[in-house]
Chains A and B, each alone.
Chain A
Amino acid sequence: MRKNWWKILCVILLSWTFIAGLMVPMRPGVTSVTPYSAKVGDTIWLKADGYNTNWGGATKGKAWLHIDEFFKVEKAGKKMDSLNVFAIQSIDFKAINDQEVEFKFVIPQHLPLATKLENASLLVSVEGAEQALRPEAIAITQDSINAYRGKTFWNSKLDIHRQWHFEYPYRNILQETLRNTFFHVPMWFVMFTLFTIAIYHGIQYLRFRRRESDIKAVSFTQGGVLFGFLGLFTGGLWANYAWGQPFPLDIKIIMTYTALAIYLAYFILRGAFDDVEKKARISAVYSIFAFATLIPLLYVVPKLAPDSLHPGNGSNIAFGSQDLDNTMRLVFYPASLGWILLGVWIVTLVYRYKIIEEKLEMKMNG
């Protein structure tokens, strides 16, 4: 019991992952807004379609259209990102049902920025319901530019009140597939952990020539390949939904195919030898050599290629900033640890099976 505490921890963490990852609701959000374009000076009824919302029967409600201006400021010698928010408030409100609500806006004569076209975000605040945001909901066009007067029109203050609930953030396009974060992303962590441990055992074999090190190296590599395929599979499911294609031409996907090809070649190489010692030694040498090319492959090359679809590349946002909010962290970190422990657990079983198999074979052969 004392020796196997980590297996219990693994079960607890993964139970938490499955229960919290699949049961915790999404925060309300706005799936679409009509119309999606307007001119300055228009008076429009803006219809918002909600997801997970309970707007039906509400009598009071407000909404803001806001335009954000990003700029850099120097603060204590450091360049910092900052933003100005210019907003207008709705003048009328109508709740149709739980998922549909309409707001009346009078769009002023000028935009607050010196552009012909600006995307405004919609913040919906209905009484008795949580606030919901639709980034870049509507495109507003203008013919004559007057940012100074525009700023005097767009002067409403956003009334953001957000209590912390145990809910996941609503993201457009992703929606409920956001939960795949707890399953797809940790697969790569597991794969890399297992491959790294396999390489460690490969090096140990070359140093001390112990038979167990070789069996451990093979078991960890097999586990890594298994989780690699699981990562591809979960990623394919997700990409089919979010990007419209299960395996788009993305540098990370190409690199993963390569990584798996290296390790499949490793197994083929092992199959070519009859001599146990030679098999172990040469496959260890190959795996170390191949692993060295894997490191730039999975971390450096994707960063050099600016047009990856995955987060953390080019203009996409990486983990830690906006992709994970605090609620998701509460599930994501335990999930990562839990999956890694599960990977190691599977590998220890494979290792023990191989040891027993070998002993039996020796007994059979006398």
Chain B
Amino acid sequence: MNLFSEIAFLLKKETTLELRQKYALSGILLYVTSTVFVIYLSFIKVEPTVWNTLFWIISLFASINAVVKSFFQENSARQLFYYQLVNPIAVIISKIIYNICLLLVINILTFIMMSIMVGNPIHNLSQYFLAIVLGSLGFSITFTFISAIAAKANNSATMMAILSFPVVLPILVTLIKLSKSAIRMTDTTWAKDVLMLGAIDLILIALCLLLFPFLWRD
């Protein structure tokens, strides 16, 4: 099998696992729904800046919860079996791609629910969606790799939060700037922010591929 068919095969495996144990995805969705509902209950109407902040906070925590299990749900012995069976690079790439899709679904759902429940202050919808796509990309790359690191340390869920928050902060800062300009809260040109996010994502994915071979071997 070459790399691509391996990735396709692993993606299929991830999806099957997800569909088989539905509680993971539905748990995240329930989390998002209840958070948005709490926001609706406490705010009723939300200022645009607050809307933006709340959206990214929900997105951040939902993403962490969704991605954290990518290296925890299978025990290390089975993972070693995968690494014997296929190229380890294919494992991480497939997990990243799978998480990108998952986070896109979660973020867009969050966006729709926020829009329905507490109103939609966005002026430039396509720009905001660009921010969501770039954000899902950045979050999934960072969190997947950090979850691979955290899985090696045993008290993983806490470790995941400690390790990933500082790393994801530059992405988050740029994302909030980009999305703020989509709400017209700031009047800056946003091409630079898009470029910046793209560059960070590229650097991170390159480092993932470069560093993963050192990580998986025990």
Query: Hey, which bits of chain A sit against chain B, CB under 8 A?
Result: 206, 251, 254-255, 258-259, 261-262, 265, 268-269, 272-273, 278, 281-282, 284-286, 288-290, 292-293, 296-297, 300-301, 304-306
Contacts and interface: CB of A to CB of B under 8 A. Distances in A.
Nearest to A270: B153
B211 A269 contact: no
6 contacts: A278-B152, A281-B215, A282-B149, A282-B153, A289-B207, A296-B200
Interface string B148-188: 01001111000100110111011101100100000000001
Interface of B: 142, 145-146, 149, 152-155, 159, 162-163, 165-167, 169-171, 173-174, 177, 188, 192-193, 196, 199-200, 203-204, 207-208, 211, 214-215, 218
A301 B173 contact: yes
A305 B193 CA distance: 10
A259 B170 CA distance: 10
Given A268-B162, A305-B177, A293 B204 contact: yes
A306 B187 CA distance: 11
Nearest to A283: B149
Contacts of B208: 289
**Shortest beta-carbon contacts, A-B, top 3:** A272-B153, A261-B166, A262-B166
A286 B174 contact: no
Given A272-B155, A282-B149, A296-B200, A290 B166 contact: yes
Given A261-B165, A281-B214, A304-B177, A273 B153 contact: yes
Nearest to B217: A281
Given A262-B167, A265-B162, A285 B149 contact: yes
Interface centre among A255, A285, A292 (most CB of B within 10 A): A285
Contacts of A306: 188
B218 A278 contact: yes
Nearest to A259: B166
A258 B153 contact: no
Given A288-B211, A292-B203, A269 B153 contact: yes
Contacts of A301: 170, 173-174, 196
B207 A288 contact: yes
A255 B214 CA distance: 29
B204 A292 contact: yes
A92 B145 CA distance: 74
Contacts of A206: 211, 214
A300 B155 CA distance: 34
A275 to B, nearest CB: 9
A282 B150 CA distance: 9
Contacts of B142: 293
A254 B149 CA distance: 25
Nearest to B145: A289
A265 B163 contact: yes
Given A292-B204, A296-B203, 19 more contacts: A254-B173, A261-B165, A261-B169, A265-B163, A269-B153, A282-B152, A282-B153, A285-B149, A288-B207, A293-B142, A293-B169, A293-B170, A293-B200, A296-B170, A296-B196, A297-B169, A300-B196, A301-B170, A304-B177
Contacts of A282: 149, 152-153, 215
A296 B199 contact: yes
Nearest to B138: A293
Contacts of A292: 203-204, 207
Interface centre among B166, B177, B193, B208 (most CB of A within 10 A): B166
A304 B218 contact: no
B177 A258 contact: no
B110 to A, nearest CB: 24
Nearest to A206: B214
